[in-house]
C-alpha cells in the first residue's frame, strides 16, 4: 500500500429526505475513494449526518416529532442512500452518536488545553450564514466592477 487517503461527503443535515444533491456529492466522493483504492491507497471513506441545529429542531417541530426520533427516521434514509447507490463508504456517522461526542470532546480538550486555540471571547450580534454569503457576493461584485 502507498499512502493513506481520507475522504468524506459533507455531513448531511437530516431536516428532510435525501435529494439529488446528496446523491451527487456521495457519488463524487465514492468515485475518488474507488479511484484511490485502485491505485493502491489505503482509503477511509466517511459519510454521515449532522443532527444538531435550529433547522433540525424546526423541521422536527413542524413534523410534530421529538427531535431525536425525527433524526432517527431521516438519518435512516441517508444510511439507505449508501446501499441504494452502492457506495463504498467505510463508515456512516451521526453527530448524536456517543463515539462522535467522545471524539469531539477529546479534540476540543487538545485544542483548548494543549494548543490554546480555544479561549473565551465576547461576540456581539447574530450571524446568518446566508446573509453573510450574499453580503460577500455583493462586495465582490462591487469591487470587480470598478
- pLDDT tens-digit readout, 62-105: 999 999 999 999 999 999 999 999 999 999 999 999 999 999 99
pLDDT class of 118 with cuts at 50, 70, 90? confident
For residue range 11-66, list pLDDT tens digits in order: 998 888 899 999 999 999 999 999 999 999 999 999 999 998 888 888 899 999 99
Predicted local distance difference test score (pLDDT) of residue 141: 61
Predicted local distance difference test score (pLDDT) of residue 146: 47
Domain at 4-145: CATH code: 3.40.50.620
Predicted local distance difference test score (pLDDT) of residue 115: 75
Comparing 17 with 139, the larger pLDDT belongs to 17
pLDDT of residue 130 exceeding 70, the answer is no
Upper half-sphere CA count for residue 111 (Cβ side, 13 Å): 10
pLDDT class of 132 with cuts at 50, 70, 90? low
Predicted local distance difference test score (pLDDT) of residue 98: 95
Amino acid at each position: 500500500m502507498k499512502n493513506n487517503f481520507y475522504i468524506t461527503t459533507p455531513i448531511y443535515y437530516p431536516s428532510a429526505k435525501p435529494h439529488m444533491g446528496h446523491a451527487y456529492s456521495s457519488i463524487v466522493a465514492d468515485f475518488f475513494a474507488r479511484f484511490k483504492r485502485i491505485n493502491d491507497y489505503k482509503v477511509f471513506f466517511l459519510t454521515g449526518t449532522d443532527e444538531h441545529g435550529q433547522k433540525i429542531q424546526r423541521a422536527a417541530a413542524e413534523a410534530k416529532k421529538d427531535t431525536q426520533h425525527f433524526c432517527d427516521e431521516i438519518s435512516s434514509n441517508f444510511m439507505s442512500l449508501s446501499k441504494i447507490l452502492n457506495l463504498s463508504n467505510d463508515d456512516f456517522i451521526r453527530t448524536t452518536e456517543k463515539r462522535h461526542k467522545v471524539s469531539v470532546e477529546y479534540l476540543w480538550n487538545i485544542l483548548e488545553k494543549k494548543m490554546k486555540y480555544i479561549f473565551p471571547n465576547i461576540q456581539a450580534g447574530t450571524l446568518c450564514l446566508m446573509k453573510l454569503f450574499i453580503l460577500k457576493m455583493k462586495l465582490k461584485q462591487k469591487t470587480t466592477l470598478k
